[in-house]
Amino acid sequence: MVKVSVLFENYGPYHMSRLEAFQELCNLSNWEIFGIELARSQHKYQWKADPKSYPVNLCSILEDQPLEEVSLFTLIRKSLGKMHSLNPDVIAIAGYSHPAMLAILAWSLWNRKSTVLMSASKEDDAPRSAKTEYLKRQILRAFNAALVGGKPQKHYLLKLGKSCDSVFTGYNVVGNDTFHPNNISYLSTPLNKSFFLTINRFIPKKNLFVLLEAYAAYRQAVGTQAQSLVLSGDGPLRSELEETIHKLNIQDSVYLPGFLQQQDLLPYFAHATCFIHASIQEQWGLVVNEAMAAGLPVIVSNQCGCFEDLVIEGINGFGFDPNNQKQLTDLMLKITSQSVDLEKMSAAALAHIQNFSPDYFAKGLKQAVEYALSH
């Protein structure tokens, strides 16, 4: 029997959906699958997912403390102890930026275990230097195979030296069924008016100040018929964003409900007119998956890692330059004009995102594991 571990820093709702689909697929091959997370919670992502509500095998290296509150020495010691006790044949590791992930990769090499890298990185999602790219090439040599989100992510790994036949796609997916219009349309609307929706951590790369300026120009152009804007999320820029909202005099039509767990976001997905993701840098942007799974047309920055794979221009949404505020304003105007068939665009978004499901992840990871075992 093949034993496969799937390692993330912390399992949120969409990680659970991925593991569940992978476990179901691998049961057919009599493989033993178990998820491993460095910690049950972390400050970086405040999502909550109860493992008991999913039929998956999941173990936490740190069960009682957030990831950021434990010393690196303690974390690595416990991580290596957990790997020794589980003794998997193959380990799928989500990235290598965290030192504990590198320690587990080193353990895999020492114990001659097969490894699969799970990665959402693309070439332009962060500043690159020749030195760091050289180090990445050396680390990537330690992985037998890789699972990535889509075209730009695969292109980046190929540029770093991975062979084309060792890189598979399907990494960046969510539990589409959770967001399907048939499952959320009954929910009461959180606002008694039409609205654009965006969901972000309030940090610089999310480009929220440009979004607010674009929305203010849209509102000025449309007047009293303008749709509202919901900015869900929280983070260090919240007070500055609130100040900007007041300076732009749009406080009566911009709503900040704070950070919301998945269940609390569903009413917003159910009743929004369109979803906007304006990031300057983004490895992928899973909230775009969620929005499309809810049947929402999308306006997505062309710097988002998901743009090339998910957005079909004029069919299920539109792309824009995140540094071009006027372009974003014009797209808001376009969406709320009579020139766009929103029902047709909604149907196209819902249909396209079915290609990016937990089953897609499961198939891609199984192919990567099989490749890793044979190489």
pTM of this prediction?
A: 0.92
pLDDT at 247 over 80: yes
Report the alpha-carbon distance of residue 233 to residue 258 in Å, rounded.
Answer: 5
Distance linking the first and last C-alpha atoms of the chain: 18
CA 275 to chain centre: 15
The segment(s) of the chain belonging to CATH 3.40.50.2000 are 3-173+357-374, 177-353
pLDDT at position 64: 83
Work out the burial of residue 294: count CB atoms within 10 Å of its CB; fewer than 13 is exposed, 13-18 middle, 19 or more buried: buried
Q: 43 or 262: whose pLDDT is higher? A: 262
Q: What is the mean pLDDT of residues 56-66?
A: 86
Report the alpha-carbon distance of residue 121 to residue 156 in Å, rounded.
Answer: 8
CA 154 to chain centre: 16
Q: What is the mean pLDDT of residues 50-68?
A: 81
pLDDT band at 272 (very low <50, low <70, confident <90, very high): very high
Q: Does domain 177-353 have CATH number 3.40.50.300?
A: no
Tell me the CATH number for domain 3-173+357-374.
3.40.50.2000
What is the widest separation between alpha-carbon atoms in the chain?
66
Q: What is the mean pLDDT of residues 3-17?
A: 92
Q: Which residues contact 338 (CB under 8 A, 6 or more apart)?
A: none
Q: pLDDT digits over 66-98, tens only? A: 888 899 999 999 999 999 999 999 999 999 989
pLDDT at position 54: 67
